Amino acid sequence: MTVTLAPGARSGSVDIPASKSQAHRLLICAALSQKPVTLLCEGLSQDIEATAACLRALGAQIVFMPGSIRVCPGGERSSVLRCGESGSTLRFLLPVAGALGRSAEFRREGRLPDRPLFPLDRELRRHGMALTERGASLFCEGRLQPGAYSLPGDVSSQFFSGLLLALPLLGGESRLQTEGALQSAGYLDMTLDALRQSGIEIKRDDSGFLVPGGQRYALPETAAVEGDWSNAAFFLCMGALSKKGAAVRGLSAASHQGDRAIVPLLRQFGADVAVSEDAVLVRKSALRGCVIDAAQIPDLVPALAALAALAEGETRIEHAGRLRLKESDRLSSVCAMLRALGADCRELPDGLEIHGRPSLPGGAADACGDHRIAMAAALSACGCEGPVQLAGAEAVEKSYPRFWADFSSLEAGV
């Protein structure tokens, strides 16, 4: 689908949908609990639906209702788990399937078969699971065993989250050691928070995690999924380009989501930011480039790069090499999108170098099948003098299906 985005600043307010990242975790915890759970969850996406479909295959009953998701034990089982393009779904549920002793076929789409599983797959094989790849399918057999696990911290926090969701189910105690500094640590904090809500005990120290075995999940009867800071970042950055400003409602300032770092980063750029109990308002001020360490906030890079292209001076985004392994090579696709619209952007081995301009001419860009590139193009249109033609706009379905409706509700629309 190709859309034409009118140029110019946007203003107004948006109610942000539920956090995809937290919804994954709470859905899994609810499905592993012994009693029915209702998740208060405003808005669904392809990734959330993929996790729900896989949990149904593992035996949970899951019903989507307006504003909530009902999860109960005792559903029909299937050996086929359809992950779509969701890396979180695959990396979280592969260890869980092993902990349950389930033989399963994980069906992967898009770039997901190419995204790394090593060294998570090595640790699963070392502890009792057999994994076989056949084309886009990944087959698993065997039961995961307790013991000593070890993962490097600089590959994916999702590997740690998957194991921490699975290890409490095993018959004995396990140790998960962290090799080096852990990147995207905020996502791991979200996992630990979901586990605490479920009554699961995890002991953390400087070298990793001690996980007692034989535990049972017991998420409360009702649990709420927070608003999504990662998706909110695009609208907050739109506010930084608008004198009237843009507000996003439904955000928790106390969230464990690492992407709440968008607030101090916008202030670092020079934007006017006001935070209230459940909303954030951003208005335009003199924007200036800065240096950004993206190691803990990789999902913010597309939004920050689009904003940097319209901020005075140079912005350098560093430690973002893992973005090459997302739905697209995000360093390449962000750079290509910005340059197509007239920005001065240079791709680095593990980051981006951007020289800001007062405005961009606009033009034609491609989302490259990546939801965050599509949203970054919409943000860029707010600083363009001419329209933006965006191919592949349907990519937003992966995480934010109503994005274009929310974007259109602002001062100028699609």
Q: How much is the pLDDT for 327?
A: 87
Instruction: Find the helix packing angle between 371-381 and 330-340, rounded to 10°.
Output: 30
Instruction: Find the helix packing angle between 20-32 and 87-99, rounded to 10°.
Output: 20
Active-site residue 47, yes or no? no
Q: How much is the pLDDT for 273?
A: 98
Are 334 and 309 in contact by the 8 Å Cβ rule? The answer is no
Are 246 and 282 in contact by the 8 Å Cβ rule? The answer is yes
Tokens representing residue 205 in the block: 């120290």
239-266 mean pLDDT? 95
Which among 47, 228, 259, 299 is annotated as catalytic? 299
Q: How much is the pLDDT for 185?
A: 85
Q: How much is the pLDDT for 412?
A: 77
Identify the CA nearest to 112 among candidates 138, 130, 131: 138
290-317 mean pLDDT? 97
Domain layout of the chain by residue ranges: 2-17+227-408, 20-224
**How does residue 414 score in pLDDT terms, banded at 50, 70 and 90?**
very low
Q: What is 230-249 written as a DSSP string?
A: HHHHHHHHHHTT-SS-EEEE
Tell me how far apart the alpha carbons of residues 259 and 248 are, in angstroms, rounded to a whole number: 14
pLDDT greater than 90 at residue 171: yes
210 vs 279, higher pLDDT: 210
Q: What is 266-303 written as a DSSP string?
A: HHHHT-EEEE-SSEEEEE----B--EEE-TT-GGGHHH
Q: How much is the pLDDT for 184?
A: 81
294-299 mean pLDDT? 93
pLDDT greater than 70 at residue 406: yes
pLDDT greater than 50 at residue 413: no
227-250 mean pLDDT? 97
The string of pLDDT tens digits covering residues 70-106 is 999 988 899 999 999 999 999 999 999 999 999 999 9
Element (H, E) at 211: strand 208-211
Q: Which residues are CB-contacts of 230 (< 8 A; sequence separation ≥ 6)?
A: 19, 20, 21, 257, 259, 299, 300, 399
180-186 mean pLDDT? 84
The string of pLDDT tens digits covering residues 109-143 is 999 999 989 999 999 999 999 999 999 999 999 99
Q: Buried b vs exposed e over 116-126: b needs ≥16 C-beta within 10 Å?
A: ebebbbebbee
pLDDT greater than 70 at residue 333: yes
Mean pLDDT of the chain: 96
Domain 2-17+227-408: give its CATH superfamily.
Answer: Enolpyruvate transferase domain (3.65.10.10)
**How does residue 213 score in pLDDT terms, banded at 50, 70 and 90?**
very high
Are 235 and 246 in contact by the 8 Å Cβ rule? The answer is yes
pLDDT greater than 70 at residue 258: yes
Tell me how far apart the alpha carbons of residues 237 and 355 are, in angstroms, rounded to a whole number: 17
Q: How much is the pLDDT for 210?
A: 98
Identify the CA nearest to 106 among candidates 72, 74, 129: 129
Domains 2-17+227-408 and 20-224 share a fold: yes
Q: Backbone phi, then psi, for 177, in 5-degree steps?
A: -95, 140
State pTM to two decimals: 0.92
Q: How much is the pLDDT for 353?
A: 98
Share of the chain above pLDDT 90, in %: 91
Tell me how far apart the alpha carbons of residues 203 and 180 are, in angstroms, rounded to a whole number: 18
The string of pLDDT tens digits covering residues 14-50 is 999 999 999 999 999 999 998 999 999 999 999 999 9
E strands, 153-202, in order: 174-179
Instruction: Find the helix packing angle between 87-99 and 46-57, rounded to 10°.
Output: 20
Q: How much is the pLDDT for 326?
A: 87
CATH topology assigned to domain 20-224:
UDP-n-acetylglucosamine1-carboxyvinyl-transferase; Chain (3.65.10)
Q: How much is the pLDDT for 224?
A: 96
